[in-house]
Every structure is written in C-alpha cells, then in structure tokens.
A and B are shown apart, each in its own frame.
Chain A
C-alpha cells in the first residue's frame, strides 16, 4: 500500500512506485457540468463515442453507450455532437 502522510514519506525522485496509476486517479471530480444520457432518444450513431477526448463514453455490444463518470471531465463535446440531443449537460452538485 502506497499512502504517504507528509512530504517526509515521499519516495526519491517523486516517483510513484507503481505503474498505471492514472486508472486510480479519478479525473471525473474536476467536472462542473455532468452529461446525462436520455437513452430513449439515443439512435446508436456513436458520434459521442467517436468524439469523447477522454474517452469516457463506453460502447456496448449492441452499440448502446454509457458514461464513465470516474473519468468524464464534463467538457460537453458529446452533448454538442449528438444529432438528436440525447445528451444534456446539467450542473453538478
């Protein structure tokens, strides 16, 4: 377990003695606006999946999509490119 308490506990070179730590760094908490998907409107065109820069749109077997809120930063590109307005940006909190 790597859990430093203060600057005194930090490893040399400020390394993290583990790989792939970005997976546990939930950038989703940077989000101010949250995309909400209205599944009944979705036409499975996958425009949101193609355009998400993160990528935080998950594509499923049947081409339906869901949003990974652990990593979605709320940029709103998905809502912008959706041709049927199935994604709505709402204020967090």
Chain B
C-alpha cells in the first residue's frame, strides 16, 4: 500500500489534497459547509506548509474572478464554495470555462435558499451543469481527496483545459471524519507535474480574451467549446486509470454494483450510493436483488456508459437530491431519460426526490422504494411524477 492512513473530515481531506498539489493561488470566501476547507488552507499558508498566495476576497463573485485571472496568468488555482456562494459565482462560471482556465473548485453541496438551510441538496451542483465545467461527485472522504488530486491533473491536461468542480455532500462528507489513505508528497509531485500554461497572459505576446462576439462568430465559438468538452471523455478515463494503478483504488466515470442480472437498479449521486449499496446487501439476504449505479463523473455526462449498464435492467429508479421547478422531472432523471431514449433496449424509468436540505435518507427508505419498484416491474407502469421519499405526506 502506498501512502499512509489517517482520519480526516471531507473538508480537511480536500484541503490536504490541495496542499499536496502545491497550488500557487487560493482565492476563496468562506461559506458553510465548505468553510473548513479554506480555513485549513489559510492555516497551511500561514504556518508555511504551503507556499501559495491566499487572496481573501469580499464575495464569491470576486473569488472566482480572481481565480480566472490567476489561472490565465499560468498559476495552479483552487477555490471552494457552496450553495448561495455558487449562485453568486454563477456568471463567472461560464467565463472560467469558456476561457479554458484550469481552476479546481470544491463544492460542499448545500441546499439553496429560501428557507435558509446549510445541509445537503444537490441544487448547487445542478445549477452549474450548463456552464461548461467538468464535475465529479465524491461518495466518501477518500474519494473527495482522490478526486481533488485527479481534478488538477485532468483540468491541466493539454487535451482538456477546462475547470473542474469536485462535489462532496454538505455535512454528510464535509464534516464527517473517515479513515482515508493519503499519498506521500513525492507520489503527488510525480502525479501532478507542472505544465506549460496555454494562452498565458503575457505582455510580450498580447492577446484578446473574451472579445465581443456577435451573430458573426459566437455560434462557431460555442460549437468549438462543445466539441472540446466532448473530447475530454477519453482523457478523464485515462487519468482515472492511471490514478487507479498508482493507488489501487479503482476509478471509473460510472460505478456499478450488483447490476448483472438485476431487474431493478437505482441510480444516485454522492453519498446516497453508499446507503443504496448497504440496503442492497440487506435485500440480498432476503433473496432480493437491487443493482446500484452511481456517477463519479457528472459533466461531461457519461451517457454511453449508462446506456451499457442500465440497458440490461427492467426498472430503473433515479434519485435526485433537488427539484427543478416547473420541469417535467428532476435534473439527474432528465439526463438519464434523455440518454436512455437512444438505447436499443429501454428500461422503465421512475423518478425519486429524496434528502432535500439534509433530510435523512436511510436503508428503510430504500426498502420502501424497492417495494414500489417491484410493483412497477409487475404492472409495467411507472408513475409519471416523482415519488417523494421521507416526506410528511399527511
């Protein structure tokens, strides 16, 4: 085994990875539940463990704006946010991606107001899905650490050059101490070599960034950006594989558990996948089979991998920790339904809304949902609207 075993909460694990990545610039504003990350980084910088410029800003809008400038100047840059902070960053998210910066951002997933809530929903991650960032979801503290390191390597790869968000469920991961294996600094150094920055701001070689671009070329620019993001898929897979070989911890865009021969499969993002697998093991003791699928890579969306994995199932329940007001279904469901529409064999899909604002999601809820899935398997008729689990229905 490489490295050593320590105990950290999710936020501290991310900060530890950022320290080992030897970032040049941290530009961030504290917001619960991400605050511990920037606090820990401020400590590292203050006590000399990390030689980085820590820019204390007055808002998240500025945090990301400064990060864009630093990244274009060729620095390795980190920021972190949650919920309302992400909302305030939103217009700069598009610019960070369109200008092909390589910022890595950790997002302690938290519900959007109103009412004020500091606990986990995936509203913020979903709110960033159109902006052109790469997005990854951690299921546990180990993954939060690993994905942070991998995000730097992926974003800075000259075949990628897009910023990354590493999502970790607020409080459930950010504030829970878990056992994790951290790499030695020398292994991280070898995994994250310094790259020659592309499009670096250079007074000797002036360029125009983010120029006015109307009906004449805007459309071509967006197509070029779309294709560039599409072309990152094999690179992400390659870097996942390299990291898996280095650490012995296997990373793939989509994680599938117990899906072979399973009629019923549930899909989720983040920590809920662990709850689903635990419930699947208990169901197995009763002779019932539940396949569990979770997405490590959320953007670009791994549609092809999902078609392969879910194409064999009969009933697929898709769990969303968010609502898309006025939409026909929540966000992950829409992505998967669209992906499966092009599959040779289409399973019956049903939507589940769970865990909003940190509402507990327990194995008992999974058993309830499994019963509903069995019913859909029998009748062949999935409900047309989302099932709300763990809600006071009255």
Contacts and interface: CB of A to CB of B under 8 A. Distances in A.
B218 to A, nearest CB: 9
B207 A17 contact: yes
B221 A7 contact: yes
Contact of B207 (A10, A15, A25): A15
A19 B217 CA distance: 18
A93 to B, nearest CB: 19
B213 interface: yes
Contacts of A8: 224
A14 B206 contact: no
A20 B207 CA distance: 8
Contacts of A22: 211-212
Given A15-B199, A19-B206, A10 B220 contact: yes
A12 B221 CA distance: 10
A66 B31 CA distance: 56
Interface string A4-35: 10111010111111111110010000000000
A63 B223 CA distance: 49
Contact of B198 (A6, A12, A18, A21): A12
Contacts of A7: 219-221, 223-224, 227
Interface residues of B, number: 23
A64 to B, nearest CB: 32
B220 A21 contact: no
B225 interface: yes
B100 interface: yes
Given A6-B220, A25-B212, A13 B199 contact: yes
A13 B208 contact: no
A18 B209 CA distance: 9
Interface string B189-217: 00000000011000000111111110001
B224 A10 contact: yes
Contact of A14 (B99, B161, B198): B99
Contacts of A19: 206-208
Interface string B92-124: 000000111000000000000000000000000
Contacts of B225: 14
Contact of B221 (A14, A20, A21, A25): A14
A14 B213 contact: yes
A54 to B, nearest CB: 14
B255 to A, nearest CB: 32
Contacts of B198: 12-13
B378 to A, nearest CB: 50
Nearest to B210: A14
B207 A14 contact: no
Contacts of A6: 220
A13 B98 CA distance: 6
A23 to B, nearest CB: 11
A27 to B, nearest CB: 9
Interface in B213-245: 213, 217, 219-221, 223-225, 227-228
A44 to B, nearest CB: 34
Contact of B161 (A10, A12, A15, A20): A12
B211 A16 contact: yes
A2 B227 CA distance: 21
Nearest to A13: B100
Q: Most chain-A CB neighbours within 10 Å: which of B98, B100, B208, B225?
A: B208
Contacts of B199: 12-13, 15
Contacts of A21: 208, 211
A80 to B, nearest CB: 26
A12 B213 CA distance: 15
Contacts of A17: 207-208
A18 B207 contact: yes
A21 to B, nearest CB: 5
A72 B99 CA distance: 30
A62 B19 CA distance: 64
Given A6-B220, A15-B207, A17-B208, 11 more contacts: A7-B224, A8-B224, A10-B220, A10-B224, A13-B100, A14-B98, A14-B210, A14-B225, A16-B207, A16-B208, A16-B211
Interface of A: 4, 6-8, 10, 12-22, 25
Closest A-B pairs by Cβ, 5 of them: A19-B206, A7-B220, A13-B100, A16-B208, A7-B223
5 contacts: A4-B217, A7-B220, A7-B223, A14-B98, A21-B208
